[in-house]
Amino acid sequence: MSLSMWYDLCLLTLLSVLFIYIFFTVRITNLHKVYFIFHFFIMLWPLCQFATHVVQDLEVQFFFVSLSFASSLMLASGWLLFTLFLAGNTKRLNRKSVGLLFTPALLVSICVMINPLHSFASPAADNYINRTYGPLFWITLIVLTGYFLSSLVVLLRTLRSPASSRSLKKQIRIVLWGICVLVAFAGTDVILNVVLQDFLPIIPGLTSLGMFITDLFFVFVITRYKVFDLVTIAHEDIINTIPHGILVLDEEESVIETNRALHLFVDIEVGDTFDIETLLSSVRTGDNLQHFIAQYKLRETDLSEIELFSEQRNLHFILQTSPIFDAKRIPLGHIFIFRDVTQERSLVQELNRQNELLHEQNRSLDRTRLDLSLANRRLEELALTDSLTHCYNRYYLTQRLSQELNATAEQRLPFSLILFDIDFFKTINDRYGHVAGDEVLYRTAQAVKQCIRSTDILARYGGEEFMLYLPYTNNKTAKKIAEQVRYAVESNMVHLEQLVEPISVTVSVGVLSIQDLHHVQIGENMKEYLNFLFSEVDKPLYRAKKNGRNRVELADMTPLPDWPFKQSAHNN
């Protein structure tokens, strides 16, 4: 047995080991089955070469020789199919195209197996170990060359395509090295052992060695880059079912991965260059635009996001981005996530609109309450105010005194009452009419308001009579205020449109001062006590009128007479 026979057997064993290794170390998918078919045809070549040296029968030898070349044809066609899968061109494949792909290899294989007129190979020295080749052999080489050139074109196109990822390009380069090795060994085998066989000794096993080295390249690509990995395929299916748009960029901002949902947000394909500023300029952004761009360029923040609105697509979406680092924190690219929040924003806008309507209703209710409050206050003022003079009325004065006199008695504080009456008021009504009389009453009240303190209470007591309540005021201060009131009225000239000359009036004033209510226990007798005070202040007013009018008289309450219910108060 020759050395070349054991050489082919050794390569067959190594290929079998690789076959078993791949079978048990990778996840088996339909796509992996393509590789196993490809690997099977690689194993046929050294197997047939070994069998040719073992068997002695001439026909059996030719069977293994022809089978080895037929397997190489199927290997070439399987290799082309494998490269199509590797390049991601499986979408173009169907049963018809796959059948057309294998047709040339099948036809030539059948012709090789039949070997009509020894057009493929003839035995030399009564065996096919040493053989001569006919024209069908060269046709076989042409078909093989066509398959490998087609594979080479597919790989080079994929390598140059901007749509190919960096990882895929690395895989393509390794596979290209593998095919170059196979072509180099197979070409060397043809040149040395076929073309120059009459001049050089036979060098066996070159093609088998080339196939083995090429298969090592394929095994490296499959195990290192997980080509056709089930997990990778599952990941692609998962990201395509995610409702958010996903965009993956490399360090040169080229698109290397997208999912189906991305086209809802932006029109971009794998291989395009993504410009973040172009995207942001085409949509409406928030206030944090510059901060977002700065974080994106610095690549320091794990996650940055910004809310955008596309008027063209009528779409609200949140754009999130984070840098991609390797284990050494070297930046490799970016991942973008586009999350549609149009429905949420629509609900928020509707909620805001409803809230605004509710706020408007609340404001309307507040205005209504305010109007009611003002109306109630106005009604209260009307109930407590004299409509003619705009002073308080007698009812308000009585209520105010009823509230304060008990506290005044407990704290032993003084207070005073001033009662004044317009002199000869009936004459004014009779001479100028009641309209003029009303105007005199109003002007007189306004003149008095100008000369009293803010704490003093002016009330229309009845008719042309007015009363002043002076809290915390002793006799001396009360007399001074009374003189100010008398003088203010006397100095006030009332001009009427129907009269040429202004009207001047005077008042008669009576003053009552209570210095100490300590010994007076009013209790439930407030009404009787007030009537008592009103009658006492009326006395000096009567005396002022009797003594000539336009004057101030003080109540003569030394001693203050007992009032019917309790011990008398004392005047100071």
Residues involved in catalysis:
464
| Greatest extent of the chain over all pairs of C-alpha atoms, in Å | 175
Strands, E, within 370-448: which ranges? Answer: 392-393, 415-422
End-to-end CA distance of the chain: 155
Residue 270 and residue 165: Cα distance in Å, rounded? 8
Say if residue 559 is preceded by a cis peptide, omega within 30 of 0: yes
If you search the block for the tokens 């000794």, which residue do you land on? 201
Residue 228 and residue 87: Cα distance in Å, rounded? 11
Residue 135 and residue 55: Cα distance in Å, rounded? 26
- The angle that helices 475-491 and 434-451 make with each other, rounded to 10 degrees, is 140
Residue 70 and residue 48: Cα distance in Å, rounded? 10
Show the tokens assigned to 382.
């009307």
- Cβ atoms within 10 Å, residue 490: 15
Contact 219, 211 (CB under 8 A): no
Residue 561 and residue 566: Cα distance in Å, rounded? 11
Question: Taken in order 155, 157, 159, 162, is the CA torsion positive or negative?
Answer: negative
| Cβ within 8 Å of residue 155, ≥6 positions away | 83, 86, 87, 172, 175, 176, 179
Question: Taken in order 10, 13, 14, 15, is the CA torsion positive or negative?
Answer: positive
- Cβ atoms within 10 Å, residue 184: 14
